[in-house]
Amino acid sequence: MPAILITCSNATCAVPEANRELFKGSEELVTSTEGWEPGSLNLAQGLAMRFSTPLIHGDVTRLLIDLDQGGEERWSKISSKLPEATRNKLVDRHQEKFRHLIEVRLAEDFKRHDAVIHLIIHTAPIADGRIRLEYIASPLAREIADKAVKLLPSSEVDPSSVPLMDKTPFIRWLLESFPSEKYGIIRITVSQSFFMRSVPMRWETIKKSLIQALVDAAK
């Protein structure tokens, strides 16, 4: 079984105390799906528990800094108003810290294992009941993604396993930084309909099914 790394960038809608004034009057926007990905942290925590591996996740709302993006795309209309010096501190404190934790974890995994599979967890307002597994960087990632999809209750949900084509700056950084012969990525995107509305299944039910499918596929 390969080593499993689990990350979740848009895990929370938290705003640090030092930045609360910036978001005054925009609290509803921050707690909406523009500010975070509801359910993503819950799923990532469940996976980390089953795989007995640490979870690395973002710690602030993406309206402050989007950890998946780079350059000016990191900033929302709200955070782009911050002085450059303040934004540089946010990059160091949040984005660079997030990436450093990944580097440290992968360095350890590469020493101990022949292969590492990185599960990147997202939820999104995509079609109700859809679960998309996108693989890149190793045949093993594709094999696990394909197996997991076949193990999901496809009569009730809409799962798919496809090549990862939309490479965010975060994905590009991963691919440039780590050896492809030992490293594979599976980006998992789950419809927020499960978490927000229990459609077409209760969140706990589909979460359990998805986690079990990934555990069985990675054996």
User: Does residue 115 come out as left (phi exceeding 0), alpha (psi in the -120 to 50 range) or beta?
Assistant: beta
Burial class from Cβ neighbours inside 10 Å (0-12, 13-18, 19+) for residue 203 reads: buried
Asked if residues 167 and 197 have their Cβ atoms less than 8 Å apart, the reply is no
Whole-angstrom distance, CA of residue 13 vs CA of residue 26: 12
pLDDT at 106: 97
**Predicted confidence (pLDDT) at residue 152 exceeds the cutoff of 90:** yes
Q: Using 50, 70 and 90 to split pLDDT, how confident is the model at 181?
A: confident
Q: What is the pLDDT of residues 184-199, one digit of tens each?
A: 999 999 999 999 999 9
Q: Using 50, 70 and 90 to split pLDDT, how confident is the model at 154?
A: confident
Give 3-217's CATH code, choosing from 3.40.50.2300, 2.40.40.20, 3.40.630.40, 3.30.930.10: 3.40.630.40
Asked if residues 128 and 199 have their Cβ atoms less than 8 Å apart, the reply is yes
pLDDT at 1: 85
Nearest to 47 by CA among 103, 97, 7, 9: 7
The reply to whether the predicted model has a pTM over 0.95 is yes
Summarize the confidence of residues 58-74 as an average pLDDT. Answer: 98
Whole-angstrom distance, CA of residue 120 vs CA of residue 187: 5
For tokens 């469940």, name the residue: 46
Asked if residues 145 and 135 have their Cβ atoms less than 8 Å apart, the reply is yes
Asked if residues 200 and 44 have their Cβ atoms less than 8 Å apart, the reply is no
What's the token pair of residue 72? Answer: 């000016």
pLDDT at 5: 98
Summarize the confidence of residues 78-84 as an average pLDDT. Answer: 96
Whole-angstrom distance, CA of residue 124 vs CA of residue 191: 5
Q: What is the pLDDT of residues 90-123, one digit of tens each?
A: 999 999 999 999 999 999 999 999 999 999 999 9
Whole-angstrom distance, CA of residue 150 vs CA of residue 99: 32
